[in-house]
């Protein structure tokens, strides 16, 4: 039975028990797909990052939710590189990361902020009934129609596709009572990982918007703070000229997680490339005992 170092690192926060918790397995070369999936299920956080050797980049990563592998995960990337920085494995500067969507650049700043360059944006409007989407989110459809004339429903991707849903006021974002079956059906219909709903009516005076993200089809009913969805939404805001003649701010701050007691902040830059960034803090550092791949029982002991 192999023993692996395993961590929980909270991303988009500067202290533990905030932001979005990610599992991190720093040395995963010997693990099979089934073992990685079982570990992610055992850790029971929204995503776990498994580092492996790479011929194309400084390192290879694969991301697993408790139920499936996903191609890209912003918060687990931020969390895992914050761990590498803390351990002295990497230094401030630019590092390359091989993912399922290609090789991405990771920028580590002197203050510990980690920046992740995302994939080129792909954005498409979708034809969905506002009442159906509002019912899935558990709010009045007027909260969507009020802003729909200027900011349409659209699927935006910078590595993972999300249905971006603008909402008029924060009170409707906070009052969401999601129907996860309906959200899963809509997500599958428009070929999206999940729904990212947001309002410019944010809690913090320095925040650009407040968002919530639901991805039940990926095994994540509600994600506390979502880097990939933040990058996709930043690209969406530029595409549909959300800031009129002023243009997209050089840096935006997206707040998320406050209504699930995991407040976090994603920094978003939409220039020649889409980048998301933030801090992270280690909450748990321990060992996991992993049964051999050919053992009949699939139990993993913490």
**Are the C-beta atoms of residues 11 and 280 closer than 8 Å to each other?**
yes
Distance CA 231, CA 46 (A): 18
Burial 110-146 (b: 16+ CB within 10 A, else e): eeebbbbbbbebebeebebebeebbebbebebebbeb
User: Which stretch of DSSP H or E encloses residue 79?
Assistant: helix 74-87
C-alpha to C-alpha distance for 276 and 266, rounded to whole angstroms: 7
Q: Between β-strands 122-125 and 274-278, what pairing exists: parallel, antiparallel or unpaired?
A: unpaired
3, with CB counted inside 10 A (0-12, 13-18, 19+), is exposed
- The two tokens of residue 297 are 């029982």
Q: How many CA atoms lie within 13 A of 8 on its CB side?
A: 18
Annotate 158-185 with three-state secondary structure.
CCCEEEEEECCCHHHHHCCCCCHHHHHH
Distance between CA atoms of residues 41 and 282, nearest Å: 20
Q: Can you tell me the distance from the alpha carbon of 215 to that of 192, in angstroms, rounded to the nearest whole number?
A: 9
Whether residue 56 lies in the annotated active site: no
Q: Element (H or E) spanning 40, and its range?
A: helix 33-43
* Phi then psi dihedrals of residue 89, to 5 deg: -70, -35
42, 47, 222, 239: which is the annotated catalytic residue? 47
Cite the active site residues. Answer: 47
């Amino acid at each position: 039975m192999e023993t692996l170092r395993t961590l929980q690192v909270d991303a988009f926060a500067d202290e533990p028990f905030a932001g979005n918790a990610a599992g991190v397995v720093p040395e995963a070369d010997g693990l099979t797909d089934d073992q990685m999936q079982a570990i992610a299920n055992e850790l029971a956080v929204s995503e776990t990052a498994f580092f492996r050797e790479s011929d194309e980049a400084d390192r290879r990563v694969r991301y697993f939710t408790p139920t499936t592998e996903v191609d890209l995960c912003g918060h687990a990337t931020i969390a895992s590189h914050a761990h590498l920085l803390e351990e002295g494995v990497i230094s401030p500067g630019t590092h390359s990361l091989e993912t399922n969507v290609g090789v991405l650049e990771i920028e580590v700043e002197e203050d510990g902020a980690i920046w992740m360059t995302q994939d080129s944006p792909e954005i498409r409007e979708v034809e969905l009934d506002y009442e159906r989407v509002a019912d899935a989110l558990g709010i009045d459809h007027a909260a969507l129609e009020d802003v729909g004339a200027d900011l349409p429903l659209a699927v935006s991707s910078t590595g993972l596709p999300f249905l971006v849903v603008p909402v008029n006021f924060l009170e409707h974002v906070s009052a969401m009572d999601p129907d996860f079956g309906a959200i899963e059906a809509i997500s599958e219909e428009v070929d999206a990982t999940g729904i990212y709903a947001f309002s410019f009516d944010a809690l913090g005076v320095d925040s650009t918007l407040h968002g919530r993200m639901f991805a039940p089809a990926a095994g994540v009913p509600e994600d506390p703070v979502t880097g990939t969805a933040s990058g996709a939404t930043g690209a969406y805001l530029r595409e549909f000229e959300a800031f009129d003649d002023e243009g997209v701010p050089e840096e935006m701050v997206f707040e998320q997680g406050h209504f699930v007691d995991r407040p976090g902040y994603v920094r978003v830059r939409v220039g020649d490339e889409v980048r998301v960034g933030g801090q992270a803090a280690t909450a748990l550092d321990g060992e996991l005992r992993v049964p051999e791949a050919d053992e009949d029982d699939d139990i993993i002991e913490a």
